[in-house]
Structures are given as structure tokens and as C-alpha cells.
Amino acid sequence: MCPSLRPPRGRSLYFASAAEAEREGFRACPRCRPELAPGSGPSPSLPRLAAAARAQIEAGFLGHGSLAGLARRLSVSGPELRRITSQALGATPAELAESRRLALAKQLLQDSALGVREAARAAGFRDSRDFRLLLLRRFGSSPSALRRGAGGVVAPRGAIVLRLDYRPPLEWGELLAFLSARATAGVEEVEGLCYRRTVRIGAQVGFLEVRPDPKRPALRAEVSLSLSRALLPLGARLRALFDLDANPAEIARHLGRDPLLAPSVRRRPGLRVPGAFDGFESALRTVLGQQVTVRAATTVAGRLAAALGEPLATPYPGLTRLAPTPRAVYRAGVDALAGLGMTAAKARALGALAEAALAESLGLDRYGDPEVAERRLRALPGIGPWTAQVVAMRALGIPDAFPAGDLGVAKALGVRSARAALLRAEPWRPWRAYAAMHLWAALAAGEVE
């Protein structure tokens, strides 16, 4: 992201995390603002536990949970977690969390109209005085000086702006088309180049709007003030939803070598895999999509939200309800769910999914072990390989997930079995999820028969 010339490798120092660099006395450049840089995405060189811990911390887990709770969530001891993060990321969990909170507070000072105290609290600092001292020590600047030199965007009244940078290109139109076709009425809507939705994160509820930033490779999210205490997890969820940490150049180089995919890669070099804002919500929507059309599944999802989602007042006529919670779906029962227009078998599958989500036994997010999550998902009644792979693509963020049994994938590949599709897709590893997106996009555009 930095526009400056890169110094010779022999005159550079490299760190595994911003927290490690800050501990060694380095300050973030005020020009290129590296705290806004996209994440690195899945990395085979980073141990799974370290990657999961980093993702949890960056999503704000230590703001409401303890180190011991994070260690239990990752099935390790507290000392082992500290050892893993120190070796792989060059910093302890506490240092990583402090660095991430400071980066968010700096961003809010530069890109929003929040006062110093409000920005500090929104980033998870309990004391604004401690925040000022830490900012001076880490960035060599006061809050007012940072704000004066920001040149950032100012949020409209009643909203907070989050800037979400990405590596260009980004096929925003393709991304919105995918999400629009699957948007749950009352919960989500797409209008022009804008995506909107209602939000529940813990006890915080509100709404947001996301659109491209016209000045830079970034998205601009306008978030209701009611979500100010949930900005860390909110930012992480939006980055996951829009797959903003992907490296499109690397993916395009790999997939573009295949003659079948090459035309779509040339037309859509920044195609992303739409993620999930909420793991349970995405898995529920995927179960509804089993063996029916996208339109039919979207219709039933709207009925489900209207029946079980809590009402929410927003300034947008199309956003009226929060997505149904696992508890609401479980309590509804099979008969009530089936009465919304689905088979009894699918209603039982939704009930089992909701029960497992309530027990927190699935791990429908990007922070746990994907193999364990997929195995537990497959163990639920009515959930087969197609559902598990689509959930792996979207909710778990696995770049190599591949729904080989999908009818559209089979048609685009000209094969008749999931086994044949898997054999044909083998050269696409480790980016088979992106290959599936290219196949679906080409099929929708009439580029393959």
C-alpha cells in the first residue's frame, strides 16, 4: 500500500505483526496508514492456532472475554497460547489486542467525527487518559494532531465511517449481484452500488450501509452510532463478507493458467468469494437453498425473518428486522418452520442446526478448525456434502472449499458426477472456491453452455 520507494532488503527489518514492530519502537507512517492495510488472508506458513488467535483478537475477543476464555475456545492452555503467538507473530495476545485497539482508535480519529473520549471507548479503551498516553508513546502524536493531519472522510450525522481497504481490483458489481440475489427481505438490501443490512453483535443492534470509496481502493461503511461499542467485530465481519483480505493478483495468476477459467479470470480479475456476516445466518440460508432455486430459498428466508426476526427501526424502508437468532429458530419448532414453506426434513435440519449453534459446538466462523467444523456440520441431520462445502466457502472462509456436487458447477464443467468435478478441479488448488465463483459467474453470463 505504501507509495514510497521500497528500501533495499539488506537495509530493512521485517516483523510478523504490527504489535511486534511497535514494541521495537517503530511508528505507523502517517502517509500510507498501514493500520488500514488489508490482511494477508490464509497463509500456509502461519500455524493454524496462531492464525485463529490473531483473527479472534483482531475481531475484539479480548475486549469482552479473557485470555483464559480465548485459550479454552482454541483448546489450548493460556501459557501455550502466549507461546504460540509470541513465536509466530512476535507478540503476546495482550500486545496484539492493544495494537489493534490503538489502530481502530487512530482510524476513528482520522475518519470520523467522534470525540477523543468516544473514539477511545469505541476502540475498547476504558480510560481516555491511558489512550492519550499510549497514542503519544506509540505514534508520537496527540489525538488532536492526528485529526488535523488526517484529510479523511467525515461521517454524516448519526453515523460512524469505517474505511475498509483492499487490494485492487475488486469486482464490486459481481459481489453485489451475488448478495442481492440471496438478500433476506427486511434484513438486507442492495440498491445501486450500495449494500445495506441490519446488525446484531452481542447486545448491540443497529444498521449499516457500505459503498465504494471514490478516491481509493476501499469501501466506505457508514455504521449507526448504536454499534459504536462493536466496531472491532463489525469491521472483521465486513472484511469477511466482502472477502477484502484476498490477494486477487495471486489468485488470478494461478487460475488464469487453466483454459476453461482463463476467459472469466480476464473479465473478472478481482472476483471474490462472498463470505458471511454471521456464520449461523449464512448456514441457515445455505440449508434453505438445498435442492431448490436461489429465488425460492430467498423467498423462504424472507418469511423466516418476518416470522422470527425482531423488528428494528431504521431510516431505510427495506430494512425492518434483525436476522433470526438460533434461539428463535430452535424455539419455533418443526411444524412452525415447515409452515413457512419448507419440507419437514428441511425444518428438522434447521432445528438441529439452531440447537448446535446454541450449544456453540459448530464453530461457524473463521477462527476455529475448519475440518472439525465441517465434520460436525455433516453430522447434523439433513446436511450433506454440498451444504458443508458452501458453508466452508462462505462462513468458514476456506479458499479451497469446492461444492463438487453443485448442478451449476457440473454444467459449467460438462461433467455428470461430483467425482469427475473434483478430478477436473484438482489443478485449481488451493483456490477452488474462487474457481467455483468463476464457473457460476460465467454460467450466469451465458459464457458457458
C-beta of residue 196 within 8 angstroms of C-beta of residue 207: yes
Whether domain 42-148 has CATH 1.10.10.60: the reply is yes
The cell for 334 is 418443526
Write out the H or E segment, with its range, that includes residue 27. none
Q: Residue 301 is placed in which grid cell?
A: 428466508
Q: What pLDDT, on the 0 to 100 scale, is given for residue 26?
A: 87
Question: Which strands make up the sheet holding 204-212, listed edge to edge?
Answer: 159-165, 218-224, 204-212, 194-201, 188-191
pLDDT of residue 271: 98
pLDDT in tens, 219-272: 999 999 999 999 999 999 999 999 999 999 999 999 999 999 999 999 999 999
Task: Determine which one of 165, 245, 365, 406 is catalytic.
Answer: 406
Positions in the chain whose pLDDT score sits under 70: 1-3, 40-45, 148-157, 368, 449
Identity of residue 114:
L
Say if 42-148 and 247-274+399-449 have the same CATH topology.
Answer: no
Output the CA torsion sign for 55, 58, 59, 63.
Answer: positive
Known catalytic residue: 406?
Answer: yes
Question: What φ, ψ does residue 238 adopt, rounded to 5°?
Answer: -70, -40
Model pLDDT, residue 320: 98
CATH 1.10.1670.40 fits 247-274+399-449, yes or no: yes
> For residue 401, what are the contacts with CB-CB under 8 A and spacing of at least 6?
389, 390, 392, 393, 432, 433
Residue 107's closest CA among 143, 58, 55, 57? 143
- The ranges assigned to domains in the chain are 42-148, 247-274+399-449
pLDDT at position 45, please?
61
Quote the cell numbers at residue 245: 483480505
User: What pLDDT, on the 0 to 100 scale, is given for residue 34?
Assistant: 75
